[in-house]
Structures are given as structure tokens and as C-alpha cells.
Amino acid sequence: MNFEIDKNIKSATTLSTDFYTSPESWELAKEKIFARTWQFSGDKERIFNGFENVYPYLLVDNYIEEPLLLVKSENGEIKCLSNVCTHRGFLLVNQPAKLKQITCGYHGRRFAMDGKFEFMPEFKEAKNFPRPCDNLPEVPFNQWQRFLFSAIDPVKPFGSFLEILNEWVGFMDLSQYRFAPEYSKTYNVHAHWALYCDNYLEGFHIPFVHDDFMKILDYGKYKTITKDEVVLQVGYGDKDSFVFDLPKGHPEYGQHITAFYFWVFPNFMLNIYPWGVQLNIVKPINKGFCKVEFLYYIIDQEIFDIMNGEKLADKVEQEDEFVVEAVQKGIRSHFYKNGRFSPSQENGVHYFHQLIAEYMNT
């Protein structure tokens, strides 16, 4: 199966509906896209907020389901290891814990906290043992501020998209933001995960779908920037809006910016407002269904309340779900295979489709 997207948006057509509807594309994307990209793995300050120093999780739960383990050393360094014993494949750790070594509950194989093999009973007669492969594999891992990311076999170095994040919002200290579980929630969306991203990556639909959201944005100034597998959408307000106090040297210093919307290929969103930060993580479940996790971090509760942060976000999400789920039904039509891009409004979607084609074809 081959996907091609013309790099010239003026002549390009969108992805074929085969990408969204075929079982072959769904299975292929697991290894072609999700196994080769950085995935959000959690919030360091939430994961290690007690006495635990090990944290088991699945990379892309319900899709790839790779068992991984975050391990925090005494000096605060975090590593990511495979959570699978190198003897017979048993899962090593099933819940967050405080450990001095990692011991397999099946046959007693023991590892140091850095993943190095230490001991195995009843193996004295084994030849050429232990081997390097008897250590727990260390998994590519990085962090940006308090947020952690891991990958199986990443195509791009993590630093490639750090540059744009730091350039635009590096002035923010997210360690000072309060995680707000009372607002955080997960939405069930009856649509392919990429259709949800398609919708997120353009502001073209805002005047037609989001009447209340439209009131806080200057749609005529809306800007989209694509770079290093990141799409940044910049939302401008007027002089009476809540806006950022941007430092000198910022690309938009002196402008009235009311929101930054970052999307990192393929399924992570970082929405930044004067009141705080909202993360969106799109989780594939099947080719017609995904879950979208909303995580809230608040720095200014008063602004959040005045901007009606939770209710506005919930209304926008329900409006987005309506259109995305309608597209999910529409792409099954015998009469629709692909469409065209608006050169002035859909460069974010065009970039996304180029990345999908590039990953799926290599």
C-alpha cells in the first residue's frame, strides 16, 4: 500500500480514505508510525510524587501495548527500561513501587536498578551466560520540563522538536503549574485517531463550528507554523483579551497572543493559555474509535474561571466530536476517496498528511 502527498499544497490532494478505513493501514501504522515516534509517557511530578521509584506503563495502551518501566535513581535521574524479563518474557513490575532491585516473580532473575543483570538461580551450568542481551534493554527516553516521552525506535531525535517548543513557550516554568484532576477527563470519540488530528490542525472550521470559541480569537490573524514534525497554531486576541506577557526576544513580543496550540506528530497536543496548560493525548483504540485524554494544569485560577475554561473546552470538544464523527461516517462513502487542501488555511493538515505518507512508505 502506497501513500503519496504532493508537497505543493496548491495541487495536493488529501490522504486516500484507505488510510482511515482499511485494516491493513491500521495494523501497518502501529509499527510504521507509533513505534517510530515519541509518545507522551506521563508527568514526572505526578508519577514520582511519593516514595515510589519505579513506574510500569504501556506505550500506546490498547494499540502497541509495549510494557515499559520508568526508574528513578537516588540522584533523581530517570531511565526507561523494558518491563519484560530477559529469561522467559514475564512482566517484571505490575504497579508503582519502591525497589532496591528488580526481581522477576516467575523464576527469580534479578536486575540492578539500571537494568543490568545481577543474578539468576539454577544457571551455574549455563554456558556463555550472562550475555549482554540478558540485561534489560534501555528504551529511548527524554523529557521537556515536567513531561516525559519515550519511544521504541524513534526516527527523529527528541531535540528536533524541542527547539520550537523552547523558542515559543520556553519562558514558562511548568513546574509551578497545579495539576487539576477535577477538570481532567477522557472523551470517547467514534472516529479514527487521525481524523481527530486532522480537525485539530486547522482553524478553518472555527467560524463554522465554534461560535463561543470564535469570540476569544482574532480569526483574521490566526497563524499556523510547521516545523520538525510540530504544528504550531497561534491564536491572537484583542487588547481587552487575556493575553501572555511575552518576554523580549520572543517571536511575537508585543503582540496580543491568547493561545498557543502545539501538535507533535503523531498524537500529542499542548494547548497553552494565559490561565495554564491543557494536554490532549489521542489514543487509538480501533480504526473507528479513539480516546482523547484532556489533562489540565492551572497557574491562574481566576483567569481560568473568567474565561470559563472547563465549560468552554468541553463545549468545543463536543462540537469537534460532532464534526469528526460525521467525517468518520462520510469517508465510508463509495463516492468519496480524497479532497483538496485550502492553501491559505490547511497547511497544518497538509503537513500531517505528508508525514503520514512519509512514515507509511518507509
Q: 99, 123, 150 — which closes off a domain?
A: 150
- Does 220 have pLDDT greater than 90? no
Q: For residues 262 and 194, state if they share a domain.
A: yes
Q: For residues 180 and 88, state if they share a domain.
A: no
- Does 329 have pLDDT greater than 90? yes
Q: For residues 324 and 208, state if they share a domain.
A: yes
pLDDT tens-digit readout, 274-297: 999 999 999 999 999 999 999 999
pLDDT grade for 24, boundaries at 50, 70 and 90: very high
Query: Is 39 part of a structural domain of the chain?
Result: no
Q: For residues 174 and 309, state if they share a domain.
A: yes
Q: For residues 292 and 173, state if they share a domain.
A: yes
Give CA separation, 254 vs 29, 244, 246, in Å: 42, 10, 7
Q: At what angle do helices 347-360 and 193-200 cross, to 10 degrees?
A: 150
Q: For residues 131 and 225, state if they share a domain.
A: no
Query: Is 93 part of a structural domain of the chain?
Result: yes
Q: For residues 106 and 211, state if they share a domain.
A: no
Query: Is 297 part of a structural domain of the chain?
Result: yes
Find the domain containing 115 and state its range. Answer: 44-150
231, 201 Cβ separation under 8 angstroms: yes
Q: 89, 120, 150 — which closes off a domain?
A: 150
Q: 124, 150, 176 — which closes off a domain?
A: 150
Query: Is 38 part of a structural domain of the chain?
Result: no
Query: Is 182 part of a structural domain of the chain?
Result: yes
Q: For residues 187 and 242, state if they share a domain.
A: yes
Mean pLDDT, rounded, of the chain: 95
Q: How many domains does the chain have?
A: 2
Query: Is 10 part of a structural domain of the chain?
Result: no
Q: Say whether the peptide bond before residue 154 is cis (omega within 30 degrees of 0).
A: no
pLDDT tens-digit readout, 109-136: 999 999 999 999 999 999 999 999 999 9
Tell which residue, 241, 206, 242, has the closest CA to residue 323.
Answer: 206
Q: For residues 317 and 192, state if they share a domain.
A: yes
pLDDT tens-digit readout, 171-197: 999 999 999 999 999 999 999 999 999
Q: For residues 290 and 245, state if they share a domain.
A: yes
* More confident of the two residues 241 and 343: 343
Q: For residues 234 and 352, state if they share a domain.
A: yes
Mean pLDDT of 26-46: 97
Tell which residue, 87, 14, 24, has the closest CA to residue 327.
Answer: 14
Query: Is 259 part of a structural domain of the chain?
Result: yes
Among all chains, which residue has been given the C-alpha cell 523558542? 167
The whole model's pTM is what?
0.95
What's the CATH code of the domain at 210? Answer: 3.90.380.10
What's the CATH code of the domain at 57? Answer: 2.102.10.10
pLDDT grade for 8, boundaries at 50, 70 and 90: very high
Query: Is 11 part of a structural domain of the chain?
Result: no
Q: For residues 199 and 121, state if they share a domain.
A: no
- CA dihedral for 340, 344, 345, 346, sign (positive or negative): positive
Show the cell assigned to 187.
472523551
Cα distance between residue 336 and residue 317, in whole Å: 26
